[in-house]
Structure 1
Amino acid sequence: MNTPDHIIAAQTRLKGYVHRTPFMESSTLNAMLGHRIVFKCENLQKIGAFKVRGAMNTLLTLKEQGVLPERVTCFSSGNHAQAVAYGAKTLGLKATIFIPQNASSLKIAATRAHGAEVVVTQTRLEAESAVQAVIDQGAVFIHPYDDDRVMAGQGTAALEAFQDGPAFDAVFAPCGGGGLVSGTYLAAQAASPATKVFGVEPLKANDAARTLRDGKIFKWDQAPDTIADGVRTLYVS
């Protein structure tokens, strides 16, 4: 189980492999809301998303342990797919990535551009099932969020924010599978315990809210129909 120290260790491990992304503000938005809103621009991160932090931290941890495989695999609607493909290319590994057909065509193309073997499936559930055959052949599976190493890597985005930005009263983190918001909470515990952490999800992909309401994991039968394609997860972990 992760602790705040794991986020700090991940930041050290990732140095030179990910960007330390900048902040941006909108004076118009600040005036509309009556608060100072600061954006951590992970859209300027390698592969265009924070997901590279978790994937690279996982791969670099395996490298440190001397158990780096020849091939890695994952399922993803796009961002984690690109992250694993990029990480594999960076460390000279092969990658087999399963992506549902309703994923962004641009993200599918970007994943292929990093040299990964991409298998497009009918649904997200089919992608999750198909990955097992590659694991059985010796590949190491990198889960998009249900992995302590991934969570620790994602948390480094918030840790940077606490280190580089002003004092924050609250942080709002997207919640799909829960890796980023969990890592963000641990980063807050490490660097700014008084800061409140909120998870945010689309109304049409509100599995985290349903899980908290019902006291048990809520699972979708298929990927939620939301324009926020990065949070089309079947359940929060």
Structure 2
Amino acid sequence: MSQSSFNASVAAAETALRDLFPETPLQLNEHLSKKYGARIFLKREDLTPVRSYKIRGAFNFMRKRMAAGATNAKFCCASAGNHAQGFAFACRHFGVKGRVYMPVTTPQQKIEKTRVFGGDAVEIELIGDFFDDCYAAAKAYSEKEGAEFVPPFDHEDIVEGQASVAREVREQLGEEKLDLVVLPVGGGGLASGMSRYFQREGRPAPEMKFVEPSGAPSFRTSLENGALTRLPQIDGFVDGAAVAMIGAIPFETLRCFGPHDVLLAPEGRLCNTMLEMLNIEGIVLEPAGALAIDALESLKDEIKGKSVVLIVSGGNFDFERLPDVKERALRYNGLKKYFILRLAQRPGALKDFLNLLGPEDDIARFEYLKKSARDFGSILLGIETRNPENFPALLQRFEAEGIRFQDITNDQIVADLLI
């Protein structure tokens, strides 16, 4: 498809989307602008009917199939949550039957919202632990039942629908200069659609920066290798953007960028960003939805005085995950640590140990791991403090008293077993 045809198709997709919802707001955020010394706008894709941009691509794909006469067709999709909700919303809008395949690990909030959006039009099948398991199941169902498979990102019609975000941004900014766009990357549908629209629309293109979770850097890895690369394993915490391999079609568009254009967001820092936006701005974001905002920490020396648009990509957050988010943020900030230590089994030993704690140190976890020990007991200890600089002094006191300890805060295997 030529660039002019692509942009015309994006315009048609955006026009059709108005049957579902008005354009999402582009808001100048005073808090972030002041913090980073720039004009920072949030494109609020968390305010679509399904609280993510995914509805755009799913709707555009199905709209074209319906226009081609597939009024009685069955549809199916695979999704960790946001694409499923957009798919379900579109199925009910068009009055067609759909089946959604989701990982068993999908947050319950996303499963329930998919049911709400789809109503009687959609069935939900939970299968496997990862997206790839669902993708294989959905493709098998499609081939067996003759259902139309609606991909989450790797299709021209999906890319075209997601690109409508870029068109809205241009219309909303008017003549204001746009220096930089920061957007998340999972499968790459949004990133490729927006970059393609901006790069060849007839105006100076803004600089583009992309953000992936540090536990699932499929785009950056593919750029580094010069070819599509499947990651052997990923961290699924950022469930809306954690994919083992970026889509083939998006990658062809995006391979003109370099690895330095792709920023990685540490999961702990991302949790900080989520809490900051919730507590200061009252904006509820899922991990994937906060990726672009989180990247400001990596860009703070480059963006002063510039106009920056951040794509806020999703607000489907299950508040049952909030304790985990707080925990990760505390550990990332160095305000909470976990230890295994050996404590003498004698009267007064616990009192002596407690006297080693500083005035800002608080025991968050204390558990004997081996209660039958005669001379020494192994203890799982969690400590929170108000200042990360308190920990070096505390550990010096442990060593001075001859207390043997091991810091397991960042030992993922041991931490997963014990914490």
2:92 is matched with which residue?
Answer: 89
Q: How far apart are residue 155 of structure 1 and its match?
A: 0.7
* Structure 1 CA distance for aligned equivalents of residues 222 and 71 of structure 2: 35
**2-11 or 19-28: bigger deviation:** 2-11
State how far apart, in whole Å, the 1-side matches of 2:148 and 2:202 are.
32
Moved >4 Å (runs of 4+): none
Letter in 2 for 1:65: A
2:80 corresponds to 1:77? yes
Deviates more, 1:109-118 or 1:186-195: 186-195
**Aligned partner (choices 41, 44, 49) of residue 41 of structure 1:** 44
- For 2:93, the aligned partner's letter is T
Cα separation, partners in 2 of 1:70 and 1:143, compared to 1, 3 Å: same
* Alignment-mate amino acid for residue 139 of structure 2: Q
Query: 1:233 maps to which residue?
Result: 243
Counterpart AA for 1:208: F
Question: Matched residue pairs, number?
Answer: 236
TM-score, normalised to structure 2, is 0.54
CA offset at residue 226 of structure 1?
4.3
CA distance in 2, matches of 1:8, 1:186: 13
Mean Cα displacement is larger for which, 38-47 or 129-138? 129-138
Q: Tell me, what secondary structure is at the counterpart of 2:153?
A: coil
Deviation digits for residues 37-60 of structure 1, max 9, x if unmatched? 100001010111100000111111
Q: Which of the numbers 115, 131, 134 marks the counterpart of 1:127?
A: 134
Measured after TM superposition, the shift of residue 5 of structure 1 is: 2.8
SS at match of 1:231: coil
Percent identity (aligned): 30
Within the candidate set 181, 193, 201, 1:190 is matched to 201
Contact 1:159 1:191 in 2 (8 A): no
Per the TM alignment, residue 227 of structure 1 is displaced from its structure 2 partner at its CA by 3.3
- Residue 213 (structure 1) aligns with: 224
Q: How much does 1:69 deviate?
A: 4.3
- Asked if residue 117 in structure 1 is aligned to residue 128 in structure 2, the reply is no
- Which is worse superposed, 164-173 or 54-63? 164-173
The residue number in structure 2 matching 1:173 is: 183
2:23 to 16, 20, 24: 20
Partner Cα separation in structure 1 for residue 152 and residue 77 of structure 2: 7
Equivalent residue number for residue 168 of structure 2: 160
Q: CA deviation at 1:65?
A: 1.6
What is the CA deviation profile of residues 58-100 of structure 1, one whole-angstrom value per residue up to 9, with x for unaligned ones? 1111122223443110101000001111100111011100000
In 1, Cα distance between the equivalents of 2:72 and 2:109? 28
Give the CA deviation at 1:147. Answer: 0.7
What secondary structure is seen at the aligned counterpart in 2 of 1:168?
A: coil
Change over 3 Å in CA distance of 1:174–1:69 after alignment to 2: farther
Cα separation, partners in 2 of 1:5 and 1:186, compared to 1, 3 Å? farther
Letter aligned with residue 172 of structure 1? V
Deviating more after overlay: 18-27 vs 72-81? 18-27
Superposition CA RMSD, Å: 1.7
- Paired residue secondary structure (2:50): helix
User: Larger C-alpha radius of gyration, 1 or 2?
Assistant: 2
* Contact 2:213–2:242, Cα closer than 8 Å, also in 1: no
Cα distance, 1:177 vs structure 2: 0.4
- Indicate if the aligned counterparts of 1:25 and 1:37 stay in contact, CA closer than 8 A: yes
Bigger RCO (CA 8 Å, 6+ sep): 1
Question: For residues 195 and 21 of structure 2, what CA distance do their matches in structure 1 show?
Answer: 20
For residues 191 and 24 of structure 1, do their structure 2 counterparts lie closer, same or farther at Cα, with a shift above 3 Å needed? farther
Change (3 A) 1:29 1:96: same
Which stretch of the first structure deviates more once superposed, 88-97 or 185-194? 185-194
2:156 pairs with 119, 123, 148, which one?
148
Which runs of no fewer than 5 residues in structure 1 stay unpaired?
A: none
Q: 2:13 aligns to what SS in structure 1?
A: helix
**TM-score scaled to structure 1, two decimals?**
0.93
